[in-house]
Amino acid sequence: MVLCSMRIAMIGQKRTGSREGGVEVVVGELARRMAELGHQVTCYDRMGEGAPYEPYEKDGYRIVPVKALDIKGLSALTSSFAATRAAIKDGADVIHYHAEGPCVPLRFARSAGIRTVATIHGLDWQRAKWGGLASKYIKFGEATAAKCADALIVLSRGNQEYFEKAYGREATLIPNGIAPEADLPAKEITERWGLTQGSYVLYLGRIVPEKRPELLVEAFKQVKTDKRLVIAGDSSDTEDYAVALKEAAKNDPRVLFIGHVEGDLLSELYSNAYCYVLPSDVEGLPMSLLEAMSHGAACVTSDIPECADVLQGCGLTFPHGDAEALRDVLDGLLANSAQAEKLGAMARDRAINGYDWNSVVQRTLGLYENNKEKYA
């Protein structure tokens, strides 16, 4: 039961509930679940790229498209200002900003007397795809969130410590949740690509430098196995990098690029992978890792805290940036199916029991109402 219905605005995502990135998945889950609790939720999405141009209802919440310049690095900037202006005009009680760049106009919302909450989905200015000017702008958004937001949310202990050291700012740790889905047998993936249960290693994520899929390709090319390497995902303002990645893999017929996937096809990929690999240098809290774990996939990640803290021994790690170490981990895991099965079962249990969306929603609502204890 809702004691007080709030008018909640979500800003920073491209298209709410899409598979374009972790931010979109998180905003979709928060919006739907908060709407089910009786709150009035409006998501201000970026206009264009096939998205509707008029406001519409979805899963009990409202989506309002806002204008954005379709120029690399400027889309998020322009849309967040337009979204903030619209949310103020619409009389929001609280505006929840997602990611660092979109937080730049946060101070205008606060000046209008609206409570502001910012979720840092990772230290975005560290991401390799951004040039110097864009990186500085994103860092300015980070500083704005740290200094001006009424409440600051981070997804990892590492980011929590970072804000304490860099800004003297207390941040609330609220990791993402996971909504477990049923495992699906290999059907469409077999028809499309000849993939069967346990016949492939899976990478699923954006094709961007900071996630280091090229490191995985380099390591996999040195592994003697008849299993395939499936790389699923699209580029994100990183088309040149994606082309170079395919070029690096072109002489190994075991490497398969399948592009963007979602729905049952996505579930099939997770459900039937021998193992899932995430070699990132930079992360917030990777949704794809939680999803792979929830499907019982044995998981291999770099040893950055944002990944290792999620696994907590329920998977394997390697020193980030070390292709030879990754090769050795893959060699060992691919030769030991019993270990893969055991790690998958452990990962599933940890994801389902440790990352609950209902808890995430209740704790977030507590911050909206300036009452951490109320929904704890």
pLDDT digits 0-9 by tens, 192-207: 999 999 999 999 998 9
Domain boundaries, the chain: 7-177+356-368, 188-354
- Range with lowest mean pLDDT among 10-14, 44-48, 109-113, 324-328: 44-48
pTM: 0.85
Would 7-177+356-368 and 188-354 be classified into the same CATH topology? yes
Q: How high is the mean pLDDT of the chain?
A: 91
The full DSSP string for 240-290 is HHHHHHHHHHTT-TTEEEEE---HHHHHHHHHH-SEEEE--SS-SS-HHHH
CATH class of 188-354: alpha beta
Quick one: how many helices (H) and strands (E) in the chain? Answer: 14, 14
For the chain, report the end-to-end CA distance as a whole number of angstroms: 16
Given a contact cutoff of 8 angstroms between Cβ atoms, the answer to whether 255 and 229 are in contact is yes
Q: What CA–CA distance (Å, rounded) separates 134 from 129?
A: 9
CB contact set of 193 (below 8 Å; sequence gap of 6+)? 230, 256, 258
Given a contact cutoff of 8 angstroms between Cβ atoms, the answer to whether 60 and 35 are in contact is yes
What pLDDT, on the 0 to 100 scale, is given for residue 137?
84
Tens digits of residue pLDDT in 213-248: 999 999 999 999 999 999 999 886 678 899 999 999
Residue type, 239: E
CATH pick for 7-177+356-368 out of 3.40.50.2000, 3.30.565.10, 3.40.630.30, 3.10.20.30: 3.40.50.2000
259 bridge partner residues: 232
Given a contact cutoff of 8 angstroms between Cβ atoms, the answer to whether 129 and 38 are in contact is no
CB contact set of 192 (below 8 Å; sequence gap of 6+)? 258
Residue type, 151: A
Q: What CA–CA distance (Å, rounded) separates 71 from 19?
A: 21
Residue 376 has pLDDT above 70, yes or no: no
Q: Which structure tokens are listed for 57?
A: 């209802």
- Proportion of the chain above pLDDT 90, given as a percent: 77
